[in-house]
């Protein structure tokens, strides 16, 4: 499997919190994959991403617990200064759609907000590392773990 073959250039991508955490924390298992996604796809303008404010809230917890203002700043900058990543507030429409997703798939509320945001903003794909979200059929769910052993291909 190859993430970059499964994620067409030009596709709008819903972004879960895990890929952002793996990039900033430089998680060894996922780092090469998320670096390619953020630098070769998002920063290069080949894809655009959308995420909800839930991501901001989730990624800041650990650095705040540790008193690491430098990491808080890195997360905040990565999410707010990148023109290819849109961070969206939870609207009434997103809340209603999230409720529907929870009722249908029995997923956690933060996950429902993330996917509902992606759907409301026109994303066709959702990048996560939560295998439980694969059962959501309204969007193509791409799970990082499925791709970590896949070798990169030229031009991706």
Q: Is the pLDDT of residue 140 over 50?
A: yes
The tokens for 34 are 């998320």
Max distance between CA atoms of the chain, in angstroms, equals 43
Task: Count CB atoms within 10 A of the CB of residue 149.
Answer: 9
Cα gap 131→128, rounded to integer Å: 8
Confidence band of 151 (pLDDT split at 50, 70, 90) = very low
Nearest to 126 by CA among 19, 2, 1: 19
Burial class of 57 by CB neighbour count within 10 A (0 to 12, 13 to 18, 19+): exposed
Q: How far apart are CA 77 and CA 116, in angstroms?
A: 24
Where exactly are the structural domains of the chain? 9-146
Q: What is the pLDDT of residues 29-61, one digit of tens each?
A: 999 999 999 999 999 999 999 999 999 999 999
pLDDT (tens digit per residue) in 108-119? 999 999 999 999
Q: Superfamily for 9-146? A: 5'-nuclease (3.40.50.1010)
Instruction: Give burial (CB, 10 Å; 0-12/13-18/19+) of 34.
Output: buried
- Beta-bridged to residue 12, according to DSSP, are 48
Secondary structure (DSSP) of 63-113: HHHTT-HHHHHHHHHHHHS-TTEEEE---HHHHHHHHHHHHHH---HHHHH
């Amino acid at each position: 499997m190859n993430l970059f073959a499964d994620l067409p250039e030009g596709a709008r991508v819903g972004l879960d919190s895990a890929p952002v955490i793996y990039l900033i924390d430089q998680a060894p298992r996922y780092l090469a994959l998320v670096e390619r996604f953020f630098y070769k796809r998002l920063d290069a303008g080949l894809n655009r991403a959308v995420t909800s404010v839930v991501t901001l809230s989730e990624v800041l917890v650990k650095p705040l617990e540790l008193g690491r203002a430098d990491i808080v700043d890195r997360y905040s900058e990565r999410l707010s200064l990148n023109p290819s990543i849109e961070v969206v507030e939870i609207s009434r429409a997103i809340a209603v759609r999230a409720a529907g997703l929870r009722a249908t798939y029995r997923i956690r509320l933060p996950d429902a907000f993330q996917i509902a945001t992606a759907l409301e903003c026109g994303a066709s794909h959702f990048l996560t590392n939560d295998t439980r979200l694969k059962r959501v059929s309204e969007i193509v769910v791409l799970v990082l773990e499925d791709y970590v052993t896949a070798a990169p291909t030229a031009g991706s």
